[in-house]
Amino acid sequence: MTRRAADPPAAAFAGFGPGVFAWFRGLERDNSRDYFAATRDRYETDVRGGLEAMLEALREEFGGEVRVFRQQRDLRFSRDKSPYKTRTYGVLQGTPGAAAGLYAQISAAGLYAGTGYHQLMPDQLERFRAAVARDDAGERLAEAVAAAEASGLDIAGETLRTAPRGYARDHPRIALLRRKALIGGAALAAGDGIGREAALAHVAGAWRAAAAVNAWLDEHVGPTTLSPDPRGRRR
């Protein structure tokens, strides 16, 4: 869902208690409609409600609008008929300097925060590689990625095994040229629960650390102009 200015205020964020992570462990053991129905109050209040409240609190610094995605899986094109996702996630969308949105998720493992371009479509990939290959723009991205890693972010995303067509294998930025996605994020283990201040500091810190990478992507890549196909992908 997307929260608008006219919507009633969300509950104050109080952190993610042990029961939140116990709920996810239960869902992993019993991914059924019966389990979900029996524990729906905890999901609505502590899991989804907690994530939404955290994102609302972070809006004060980052702006944008809160969107928390549905827990039900789209089974139309999947062989896996498990009805529910085993993570709950949402974004701040429309934030200045992060066209792709600022992402956060909770699961049995803990709290993850990240941002970036999780999938580069063909038109985006062409712009990305052309910019990486240029010494000025490419060096700026390499420096931004190195700074993000030094701040504790893991740089992730699909990567080719070899050089893309038309680029030399010994290019000085071949590791970036091989990328088909670029995401920076960090995880915080569940432990005995994650308190309010620890959660907010972790997520905000990850987003800030990725700001320069996001700015580069927005400047040199930008959104795709391809239309989606019937399965939700883009052509």
Structure tokens at 41: 């109050």
pLDDT confidence of residue 71: 96
Q: Which of 178, 185, 147, 143 is nearest to 163 (CA)?
A: 178
Going by pLDDT thresholds of 50, 70 and 90, the confidence category of residue 10 is low
Average pLDDT, rounded, for the chain: 92
Q: Which of 217, 215, 205 is nearest to 157 (CA)?
A: 217
DSSP 187-231: EEE-TT-EEHHHHHHHHHHHHHHTHHHHHHHHHHT----PPB-TT
The pLDDT tens digits for 179-194 are 999 999 999 999 999 9
Cross-strand bridge partners of residue 102: 92, 115
Q: Is the pTM of this model over 0.85?
A: yes
pLDDT confidence of residue 55: 98
Q: For the chain, give every domain's residue range.
A: 15-220
Residue 29 pLDDT greater than 80, yes or no: yes
Q: Which CATH class is domain 15-220?
A: alpha beta
Rounded to whole angstroms, how far apart are CA atoms 131 and 140?
A: 10
Contact 142, 119 (CB under 8 A): no
The pLDDT tens digits for 153-180 are 999 999 999 999 999 999 999 999 999 9
Percent of the chain residues past pLDDT 90, beyond the cut: 85
Rounded to whole angstroms, how far apart are CA atoms 226 and 235?
A: 5
Alpha helices in 45-182, H assignment, sequence order:
49-62, 122-133, 135-150, 174-177
